[in-house]
Amino acid sequence: MTVEAEALTATFTALADPTRRAILARLTRGEATVGQLAEPFDVSLPAISKHVKVLQRAGLIEQTRRAQWRSCRLRAEPLRDIVTWMGQYREFLGDSFDRLDQYLTDLQKGERP
């Protein structure tokens, strides 16, 4: 399996869990510690800690240590890789998807913002 394929596998695997998707959604509202991420869920802290590790392995989360807290921040690259991967299906997603197609073209030209 190529490197990109392994990365995609890790990303899709990470996104296949609803708790992990909820953690990502939470992080769009700003950084959070593992404890803060755990709060809305009815599972133990170790369980959340493992979810965070899976998200980290996929590159979807970046952790920085501050004292005994580990602040988690969202990383967009893996999501962009999914958009790129979806490019091969644009004709199946309808003509409106041309806008996404255009976005992908820009990406390849290095016009990433």
If binding is defined by CB under 7 A, does position 105 make contact with DNA?
Answer: no
Which one of a second copy, DNA, none is in contact with 88 (Cβ closer than 5 to 8 A by kind)?
A: a second copy
Q: How far is CA 71 from CA 20, 37, 52, 67, in A?
A: 16, 10, 11, 10
Binding-site string for DNA from residue 54 to residue 93, where x marks contact by CB under 7 A and - marks none: x--------x-x-xxxx-----------------------
Ramachandran category for residue 19: left, alpha or beta (phi over 0 → left; psi -120 to 50 → alpha): alpha
Nearer to a second copy, 68 or 96 (CB): 96
If binding is defined by CB under 7 A, does position 21 make contact with DNA?
Answer: no
If binding is defined by CB under 7 A, does position 2 make contact with DNA?
Answer: no
CB 98 to a second copy: min, Å = 8
Question: Which residues form the interface with DNA (CB under 7 A)?
Answer: 13, 17, 19, 33-36, 42-54, 63, 65, 67-70
